[in-house]
Amino acid sequence: MSEEMNVERGYENWLDEVDSGSPPDLITAVLDELYASGPSPQETAQAQERLRQAMASVRQEQIYYDVLPRSPIGPVYIALSARGVVAIDFSDGKEAFLSWIRKRTGVYPVRSPERMAEATHQVQDYLAGKRAAFDLPIDMRFLTNFQRTVLRAVMKVPRGEVITYGALARVIGRPKAARAVGRALGSNPIPIIIPCHRVLASDGSLGGYSGRGGVRTKAELLRLEGVTL
């Protein structure tokens, strides 16, 4: 096989990985956003500087985590920075969760039930039907501008109500971006607190859900909030 064909095949494999649906790491997310807009040299330099600042700031702090070992949706892992909740995960277990945090932030979390007590308590109460809303800060430093826009919009959908991907795209002023909205929700790093489960397909079906149990868990969270399916 020629060198040119090897390069082409390697590029195709890279594209397959990009389209695989896994959430981007911090560097990839910044570069994706940068190249999507066709950057000028000045914009490239500014984006690189923002990335360096974000990485440097988080390395100067610690990220803590804890786990709810039992809940209606199984074990739930929660991570917290000095600025707020960084991640919630109930998909792949402890090691995958810690590896994801380190890849995204550059910091390996330290377990601290004491520092995590309020966050774990609120999530536990929510899943037990004892809490209707969260009172926790959220750290979105490690997301693209588009992801932040989508996730902030979905946080405004009230408990007990739902919205479609297309309607949410119109809310953020991007009416043709329903699929991109779906991808942003699919890589939501803070599910439950950021209620991506409240977004449905255009035909009213559940659509997708990346957490453990898939759409069954999505349906359970909606029922917990009083949504009749």
Q: How far is residue 74's CA from residue 71's CA, in Å, rounded to a whole number?
A: 5
Residue 193 CB neighbour total at 10 angstroms:
20
**What are the beta bridge partners of residue 76?**
68
**What are the beta bridge partners of residue 191?**
194
Residues 6+ apart with CB under 8 A from 205: none
Buried b (16+ CB within 10 A) or exposed e, 80-97: bbeeebbbbbbbeeeeeb
In 3D space, the residue among 226, 228, 192 whose CA is nearest the CA of residue 210 turns out to be: 192
Q: How far is residue 121's CA from residue 55's CA, in Å, rounded to a whole number?
A: 29
Tokens of 68: 């709810």
Cβ–Cβ under 8 Å, residues 63 and 86: yes
In 3D space, the residue among 114, 75, 110 whose CA is nearest the CA of residue 93 turns out to be: 75
Residue 182 CB neighbour total at 10 angstroms:
20
The catalytic residue among 196, 199, 200, 221 is 196
- Respond yes or no: is residue 196 known to be catalytic: yes
Residue 41 CB neighbour total at 10 angstroms:
7
User: Mind telling me the catalytic residues?
Assistant: 196
